[in-house]
Structures are given as C-alpha cells and as structure tokens.
C-alpha cells in the first residue's frame, strides 16, 4: 500500500491544478490573447504547472491582450507587445506551444490504451518488450508529433501565406527537436517513477487509474518543459522558430 502522504500530496496537486484551470478560463474569457491558440495553451498548462503557469500568464497578461495595438511599422510589422515581452518569456511561450501538443498527445495515448488495451499489443507489448509503458511511449510520441506539428502549422499559416506542404515542412523544422526533447524529459521522469520510485521506494506499483499517476504526469511535464526550454531558446535565437 502506498503511504498516505504521497496520496495526500497528489490530491492537493491535482485539485490545485483544477482550480488553476478554472481561474485561467475565467480570465481568458474576459481578456483573450491576440494569438487565439495561446488561450487554449494557457488553459491546458494551468492544470499541469498550476501556480507557475499563472505566474507566467500574469507576466504576459498586460502584454498580449487584444486591447494592445496589433501592429507597428517600427517593429517590422510585429505586434507592438513584442517590444515589452522579455526574451525568456518569449521562449517560455514558444516552449508551452510546442509542449501543448506533447501534453495532449500523452493524455490521449494514456486514454486510448486504457480504453483499448489491445493497442499495446499492436505496438509490441508482450512481443518486443514485456512492459506496457513502452507501448504508451510509442503511441504518445506519435500523437504528440502530430498535434505539435499541427499547432505549429496553424501558427505559421497566421503569419505566412505558404502552401500546405511548405507549411508542414517548416512546422517540422521548427518543432521536431523541441517536442522530442520534451518527450525525453517526460519519459525520463516517468521511467524513474515507474521503475524505481514507486516499486522500490514506496513499495507499490504506479498504476494509471490512481491519483498518484496523474501527479507524476504533472511532474513529468515540468521536466519536459525544463529539457525543451534550452532547445527553444536556441531555435528562436537562430530565428528558425518565430517569437511569440
């Protein structure tokens, strides 16, 4: 049996995440972002990063509201709030945009395999490997890739009038490395929790249908953000990836 304190901590973290989602939804409805996709991204990450996400949101709040002037000639036709957004915050927003596809991909993979366990077998469980978690990782990377590239493509199409093919190629060029490093962070922490922390330290396996699992997902996404952040910094500095 898992000790009481990890369960209590898990419930506290998940409950705090839900409250932060409600807060962000209410604030976004009153004061939506210029980049509409960011409205959904802030809401998604408020469950995982709760208070930290709100801090980042509040720092960005006066900079990206619709009431801000959208264009200024002095800034090469960029939104005027770009001038007032610090570079680390721009990188954080770019990382969150990439990570949103990873988050949704991971959650979708967990849900699909929970509902349709045979998917794990199709992906190699019991034939290529004896741990089902590896099937989850394969599916989650595939879904994360599709979603992250789709989100990046939509962002590119808002700023450039490129063809579908060129837009997809550019989206892959921009987000392949960040999403891969994000998933490395997620998989690294979840491997630690799944193979060592719970069975060896806490004396109980980590199961999907427990509150502790979703707390571990919250922590894993934080590791994904940390690992992916420097890659996004590098890509934005080289102007391969656009600022947000």
pLDDT at residue number 196: 96
Q: Cβ(10)–Cβ(215) under 8 Å?
A: yes
Mean pLDDT to the nearest integer, 93-118: 90
Residue 37 scores a pLDDT above 80:
no
Cα gap 92→88, rounded to integer Å? 6
Return the structure tokens found at 60.
């960005």
Cα gap 54→76, rounded to integer Å? 30
Cα gap 163→151, rounded to integer Å? 16
pLDDT band at 8 (very low <50, low <70, confident <90, very high): very high
Element (H, E) at 128: none
Place of tokens 């090469």: 76
Cα gap 58→60, rounded to integer Å? 5
Give the contacts of 48 (CB within 8 A, at least 6 positions apart): 17, 103, 217, 218, 221, 222
Of the candidates 224, 199, 231, the one whose C-alpha atom is nearest the C-alpha of residue 212 is: 199
Q: Indicate the DSSP class of residue 23.
A: H
pLDDT band at 73 (very low <50, low <70, confident <90, very high): very low
- Total length of the chain: 244
Alpha helix ranges (H) inside the chain: 4-30, 36-60, 87-115, 118-122, 133-159, 164-192, 211-237
**CA dist 123 to 104, 136, 208, Å?**
19, 9, 18
74-101 residue pLDDT tens: 445 555 555 667 888 889 888 988 888 8
Cα gap 134→130, rounded to integer Å? 9
Place of tokens 């721009």: 90
pLDDT at residue number 145: 94
pTM of the full structure: 0.85
118-145 residue pLDDT tens: 999 999 999 999 989 999 999 999 999 9
pLDDT at residue number 179: 94
């Amino acid at each position: 049996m898992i000790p009481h304190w990890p369960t209590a901590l898990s419930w506290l973290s998940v409950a705090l995440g839900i409250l932060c989602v409600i807060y962000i939804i209410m604030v976004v409805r009153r004061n939506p972002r210029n980049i509409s996709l960011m409205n959904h991204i802030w809401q998604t990450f408020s469950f995982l990063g709760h208070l930290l996400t709100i801090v980042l949101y509040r720092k960005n709040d006066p900079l990206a509201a619709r009431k801000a002037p959208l264009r200024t000639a002095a800034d090469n036709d960029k939104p005027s709030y770009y001038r007032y957004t610090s570079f680390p915050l721009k990188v954080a927003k770019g990382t969150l945009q990439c990570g949103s596809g990873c988050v949704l991909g991971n959650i979708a993979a967990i849900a699909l395999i929970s509902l349709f366990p045979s998917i794990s077998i199709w992906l190699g469980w019991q034939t290529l490997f004896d741990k089902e978690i590896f099937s989850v990782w394969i599916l989650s990377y595939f879904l994360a890739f599709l979603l992250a590239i789709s989100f990046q493509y939509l962002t590119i199409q808002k700023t450039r009038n490129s063809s579908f093919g060129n837009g997809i190629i550019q989206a892959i060029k921009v987000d392949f490395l960040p999403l891969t490093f994000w998933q490395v962070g997620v998989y690294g922490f979840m491997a630690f929790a799944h193979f060592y922390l719970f069975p060896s330290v806490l004396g109980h396996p980590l199961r999907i249908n427990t509150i502790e699992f979703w707390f571990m997902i919250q922590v894993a996404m934080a590791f994904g953000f940390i690992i992916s952040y420097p890659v996004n910094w590098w890509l934005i500095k080289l102007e391969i990836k656009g600022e947000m």
